[in-house]
């Protein structure tokens, strides 16, 4: 029997970056953008607020880009402070690398397992899909999905009753499948 699980973001993740004012390392994105034009060149930043002192930091989205090369839809979304665009940009590896930031997904996602699982079956095949690139250990997902402790899940892996083509003890953000044998 094949089960489908989905890891769904519930809110925007925290941005990990050092605050210049209070030395905190967590910022909250609120979906606000600043767009600035210099003649025919355009700059755009995503504004993030320090969780400790409330100071604003700017994450560079566009730097000195010719206005005509920016898609009108993107420009409209920037001007409208589109929260969906904020989520897309935080997921973009180019934006994260350019701004030297990381994301903290703690408490910003949930696991949707569908209907309750029946652990009395001989074997259960589960396909896990990620709605966003959320790095999480499969052991944690399996424990949460079946209502087991992480130690019990580790024991199932050691006994060979929980198998997968991917390493279940390291963080993943890509779709994977596993089989639980009883």
For residue 179, is pLDDT > 80?
yes
Write the pLDDT tens digit of every residue in 62-91: 999 999 999 999 999 999 999 999 999 999
What does the alpha-carbon distance between residue 121 and residue 58 come to, in Å, rounded to a whole number? 52
Q: Distance (Å, rounded) from C-alpha 59 to C-alpha 41?
A: 18
pTM of the model: 0.79
Give phi and psi for 83, each to the nearest 5. -65, -35
Question: Each residue of 90-139: pLDDT tens digit?
Answer: 999 999 999 999 999 999 999 998 876 555 667 888 999 999 889 999 99
The strand pair at 2-9 and 123-130 is best described as parallel
Q: What is the CA radius of gyration of the chain?
A: 21
């Amino acid at each position: 029997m094949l089960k489908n699980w989905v890891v769904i973001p519930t809110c925007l993740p925290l941005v990990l970056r050092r605050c210049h004012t209070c030395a905190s390392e967590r910022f909250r994105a609120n979906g606000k953008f600043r767009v600035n034009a210099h003649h025919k060149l355009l700059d755009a930043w995503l504004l993030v607020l320090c969780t400790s002192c409330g100071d604003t930091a700017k994450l560079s989205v566009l730097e000195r880009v010719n206005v005509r090369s920016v898609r009108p839809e993107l420009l409209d979304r920037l001007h409208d402070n589109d929260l969906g665009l904020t989520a897309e940009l935080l997921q973009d590896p180019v934006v994260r690398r350019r701004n030297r930031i990381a994301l903290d997904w703690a408490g910003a996602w949930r696991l949707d397992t569908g209907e309750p699982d029946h652990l009395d079956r001989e074997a259960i095949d589960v396909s896990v899909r990620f709605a966003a690139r959320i790095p999480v250990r499969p052991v944690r997902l399996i424990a949460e999905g079946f209502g087991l402790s992480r130690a019990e899940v580790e024991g199932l892996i050691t006994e060979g009753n929980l198998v997968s083509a991917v390493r279940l003890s390291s963080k993943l953000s890509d779709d994977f499948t596993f089989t639980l044998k009883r």
